[in-house]
Amino acid sequence: MRGWACAWMSLFMWTDTKNGSWLILFGGLINPLAIAYVMLRLIDRVPRARFVLASAILFCIPFTWLCLLTLKMGVLIGHVI
């Protein structure tokens, strides 16, 4: 499955505890948070909001790794980028 499809699916699969984990939500949140950060950075506005978004992204990363570990999934290059 492609990375964008995994990210999209993770926004909806976090409630399915039979096939997943609630931790998957953190992986799905990273992309929208990153897009919001980039948009604010491009217009060079709201530095406090950018700081909060960057902090939220960094907060989500370890939970994404934990989710991948519990689901016995490997990390591919798209995740690292």
Domain that holds residue 51: 3-80
For residue 22, the tally of other CB atoms under 10 A from its CB is: 13
Position 17 pLDDT exceeds 80: no
The CA distance from 17 to 3, in Å, is: 21
Q: Give start and end residues of each alpha helix (H) in 1-81.
A: 3-13, 24-42, 47-70, 77-80
Give pLDDT, residue 54: 94
Q: What is the mean pLDDT of the chain?
A: 81
Give pLDDT, residue 1: 66
Domain total of the chain: 1
Q: Is 72 helix (H, G, I), strand (E, B) or coil?
A: coil
Position 60 pLDDT exceeds 80: yes
Mean pLDDT of 22-47: 88
